[in-house]
Structure 1
């Protein structure tokens, strides 16, 4: 009897941890005991049997300046990851999202384990910035699992075989998300206007965005004291968010990760830090305003590399600013309060925006198969191709 297939999964932040766990589950469903896992990940992947040699929370870094400050740590963790791969000798390595970390691992593994197929799961958003990363990735890995059809051409023209698997965010199950029950549990009246704030899942996002959101909400509360406010505390930054919100001079309901989908459906309007959460909010039917801030020096360095018109995926897919985007110098309390206030005050504007968001999701491939299953099939094809 041949030994079980050994797949190494590497994820460096919460979103990648979720993707890795879904992929591991899909491979187990197909192969049962004929597949084992090693790698780097968080609590979701640990449930699937991936024992990480270090806590990935320390790698949740965004921005060039932040990256430079953490360079020594990242370099050590890349070495740790490569050492694990060399010791375990997997049949394939899947590098999930987290461009800065995983591209370093990929380059090191090309030398350390030249015969092992390297698969990148989620490519860099080269349509938005730094087109050159497509060529870099093509030289560093053997296959790409892309989330959206509009991603693939950028990499295929560089000679990188690409499989479009779809986004897990488009397959969120809202079946058990009961907005009425959630409001009742929190003592929020059914006709009360509710602003749901989603400050992010990275420490840098919480540090930069929560003060801006606090000031914007203070303006909204001054205009409408009855406005209800809820804040999602993502698992990786829950303690940080909880501590900051506790100091706000107005009441805000804290929302745990497990109840965020019910809160999304219960929201009148959402105010969200740019990221995958915008897709989830669109699925929930919540009209939203999107904001983002980088550390100023990081933004000054990065700005010349931004080539896309929009930061939000469904805006990009529709080639239209369906959800207002307020980025960097536009992400002020005054502008955020004005944009959110317009939606709160206008039911028809909310209805139209929610409908346009839903239509844009169709352009992103909402009706496709489960992405984890497609990704599992693609990985097995790549392994079989290398074996033969």
Structure 2
């Protein structure tokens, strides 16, 4: 039997990380395997060089998406060309619902013999359940995070496997003491970590409020330490937008320090996203912020989104606010800093928040899953189908 031929496609930072993890799990299972793909720095770090640059797809919101629509179509065409030229047995399409759907449709039309696996599905349980039917008509297998997703796909006959939340499968515990030592931060100093996002639109819309709040926190007590960790893919944009921030904060763009920084922090101010689950795993109390364009927000709230909150820890807690959310008009430096200072000056409040997050985190667990390993097994099975 010939070696399996796999092709991974990831368009955003979180998908790039997950793709790298699954590729590593595949290689651990099968030594003789051909893997190629489209992605970013994470995939490149294990030798998967992307033939096209998909960084332009890291957008946030409806209007931003429309602005890059032509680019998305062009890149979907280019991705399909690259995939078909490689002639894989299986294509794994990671996250990024809209772009991956376009890629899948193009590959299916031109090379129907290639198996298509979607890794992480759209949040049909929160918004637009009709996407389940669309996905079922386009791919062969869905690897989803939660058992609650399966009933949406069963009526449409899509083979579905629950892998669990990838963030909860990452067994890498941060070394907070090592991080503090490396950056000259004493064990006694309070440390506030700012995670301003991984998309250009988040650096534009969310980062100013988080950085502004951090500056207020720092000014209230100069002995407090602030660490800001923008994703590597937006580091240059962050530096351009905030040229003076290194005068009062430590800025790190080293992905290898990600979990160490989380473990070192007494409190995190974070852009909403996958990072919230990672912070909870490291036991770091957090405050979440988020802002998108008003047209996108109005459509989401009025027509699409079915939940009150946006943070997964809150959604799984019966849609109640376990983690404070400062969204849209509430996303201001003053409001965020006020909540943060309330916690930082009250150790008991910080401890209560940490405990509340752990209870919410326990509700997200779906057994003893290792998401990347389960995904690797399924992908290899599809390659042999």
Q: Which residue of 1 aligns with 2:260?
A: 262
Contact 2:194–2:211 (CA under 8 A) maintained in structure 1:
no
Name the TM-score, length of structure 1 as normaliser.
Answer: 0.92
Q: CA deviation at 1:232?
A: 0.6
Q: Deviation per CA, 1:273-303: give whole Å up to 9, x if none.
A: 0011111111111111111111233323333
In structure 2, relative to structure 1, the CA distance for the partners of 1:211 and 1:123 (3 Å cut) is same
SS of equivalent to 1:151: helix
1:367 CA displacement: 5.6
Matched, 1:16 2:15: yes
> Does structure 1 retain, via aligned residues, the 8 Å contact 2:39–2:54?
yes
Following superposition, the deviation at residue 157 of structure 1 comes to 4.0
Secondary structure at 2:147 match in 1: coil
Distance in 1 separating the partners of 2:17 and 2:211: 29
| Deviation per residue, 1:212-265 (Å, 9 max, x gap) | 123223333343333321101211112222333432496011123211211111
Aligned 1:276-287 pairs, distance under 5 A: 276-287=274-285
Structure 1 pair 250/45, CA: closer, same or farther in 2 (3 Å)? closer
User: 1:103-252 maps to which residues of 2 (within 5 A)?
Assistant: 103-175=101-173, 177-248=174-245, 251-252=248-249
Contact 2:197 2:207 survives alignment (8 Å): no
Q: Could you say if the C-alpha distance between residues 265 and 244 of structure 1 is closer, same or farther in structure 2, counting changes exceeding 3 Å?
A: same
Counterparts of 1:183 and 1:366, CA distance in 2: 33
Which residue number corresponds to residue 370 of structure 2? Answer: 370
Query: SS state of the match for residue 52, structure 2?
Result: coil
Q: Secondary structure of 1:229's match?
A: strand
Tell whether 2:292 aligns with 1:294.
yes
User: Higher mean Cα deviation, 48-57 or 370-379?
Assistant: 48-57
1:21 shift after superposition:
1.4
Deviation at 1:330, TM superposition (A): 1.7
1:55 match: 53
Against the structure 1 CA distance between its residues 308 and 187, is the aligned structure 2 distance closer, same or farther, given a 3 Å change threshold? same
Contact 2:193/2:267 (8 A) holds in 1:
yes
Does the CA-based 8 Å contact 1:37-1:49 persist in structure 2? no
Q: Do 2:179 and 2:264's aligned partners in 1 also have CA atoms closer than 8 Å?
A: yes
Contact 2:4 2:383 in 1 (8 A): no
Do residues 88 (structure 1) and 86 (structure 2) align? yes
1:354 aligns with 2:354: yes
**How far apart in 1 are the matches of 2:305 and 2:5?**
38
Distance 1:259 1:367, change over 3 A: farther
Greater Cα offset, 44-53 or 130-139:
44-53
Residue 203 of structure 1 and its aligned partner are, at CA, apart by 0.8
Contact 1:171/1:366, CA 8 A, preserved across alignment: no
Q: Can you list the C-alpha shifts for 1:135-168, whole angstroms capped at 9, x where unaligned?
A: 2212211111012233333333443221011222
Residue of structure 2 in register with 1:332 after alignment: 332
Q: Aligned pair in 2 of structure 1 residues 93, 181: CA closer, same or farther (>3 Å)?
A: closer
Compute the TM-score of the two structures, normalised by the length of structure 2: 0.93
Match of 2:229, SS state, is strand
Q: 1:99 to 1:247 in 2, by over 3 A?
A: same
Shift of 1:366: 6.8
Give the SS at the match of 2:136: helix
For 2:227 and 2:188, locate their aligned partners in 1 and report how far apart those are by CA, in whole Å: 15
Once residues 340 and 150 of structure 1 are traced to their aligned partners in structure 2, the CA distance between those partners, rounded to angstroms, is 33
Kindly tell me: are residues 189 and 120 of structure 1, through their superposed partners in 2, closer, same or farther at Cα, counting changes over 3 Å? Answer: same
CA distance in 1, matches of 2:116, 2:269: 38
- The whole-number CA distance in structure 2 between the counterparts of 1:36 and 1:315 is 41
Distance 1:184 1:39 in 2: 38
Whether the 8 Å contact between 1:128 and 1:310 is mirrored in structure 2 is no
The answer to whether the Cα contact below 8 Å between 1:290 and 1:324 also exists between their aligned partners in 2 is yes
Structure 1 unpaired stretches of 5+? none
Greater displacement, 234-243 / 73-82: 234-243
Q: Are the aligned partners of 2:5 and 2:383 in contact in 1 as well (CA < 8 Å)?
A: no
